[in-house]
Amino acid sequence: MSIVVERKDRVVVITIDRQRSLNALDPESMAELRDAIDAFNRDDDAWVAVLTGAGDKAFCSGADIGTTKTASLSAAEILFSNDAEAKAERYVETMDFGDLKVWKPVIAAVNGYALGGGFELALWCDIRIAASNASLGLPEVRIGSIPAIGGIRRLMNAVSSSNAMYALLSGRHIGADEALRIGLVSEVVNSERLLDRALEMATEIAHCAPLAVRAAKMLSIRGRDLAIEHAIELEQTIWAMLKSTNDRLEGRQAFLEKRAPRFEGR
């Protein structure tokens, strides 16, 4: 198995372990990763995930070009057909997790290289924390290609247009300190401290009401493309849905009693 999954209370740690190829993903490990994320998403007892790479050299260096095969179907079939082969090609070859609708928080602990699809994977995550040796980039233009699993849009959302364009159009690598300066990551820590710090962040989030956390994530993503009045309307609708949940009642009661709340996700 190239994907290792561990549970730490409410937190799931998903580790890409293909160190011999700088944690690049072949089709089989792409499928394993997708299955691991899907399992986390379906597990009611798992509230936050940490995604990282084994070792200290790479988070994920993208697709393993030596093992990825030429598509057996036409582009139109891959994009528009719903038969099993087309779906497998679409999901496995592109690391497409969009259909899973993961509203649970995912933290990327970026150790070493996060390049190409690996960087797109980190951008897919909600929070990014980097080791001091991290190197992030979308080098596709240097080999005649482009990022195509959401990396362009997510990079444009993550940092200023100028910084995003410079990285995208040059294919350059971005070091940890620069990534912190431009807001691409939340923190930079020493390599040996990276996973512990990511787990601290995940645990902090896991102490909050899970339905509210997922609603906040969903609203943050869905609201980006809405006019402000429509975004507010959606926020008010979701607020009304959360108003009568057991967790909201428990949170208010715990506040009045000056104790830690006991959330259950109901």
In the numeric block, the tokens 């006019």 are attached to 227
Distance CA 110, CA 119 (A): 9
Kindly name the residue from 32, 89, 93, 140 that is annotated as catalytic: 140
CB–CB of 141/168 below 8 Å?
A: yes
Residue with token string 């936050």: 48
User: For residues 241 and 212, what is the distance between their CA atoms, to the nearest angstrom?
Assistant: 10
Q: How far apart are CA 146 and CA 152, in angstroms?
A: 9
Q: Does the annotation count 120 as an active-site position?
A: yes
CB atoms within 10 A of CB 8: 14
Q: Are 154 and 79 in contact (CB under 8 A)?
A: no
Has 200 been annotated as catalytic?
Answer: no
Which among 6, 85, 120, 264 is annotated as catalytic?
120
Q: 209-223: b or e for each residue (b if 16 or more CB lie within 10 Å)?
A: bbbbbbbbbebeeee
- Name the strand (E) or helix (H) holding 106: strand 106-110
Catalytic residue numbers, as ranges: 120, 140
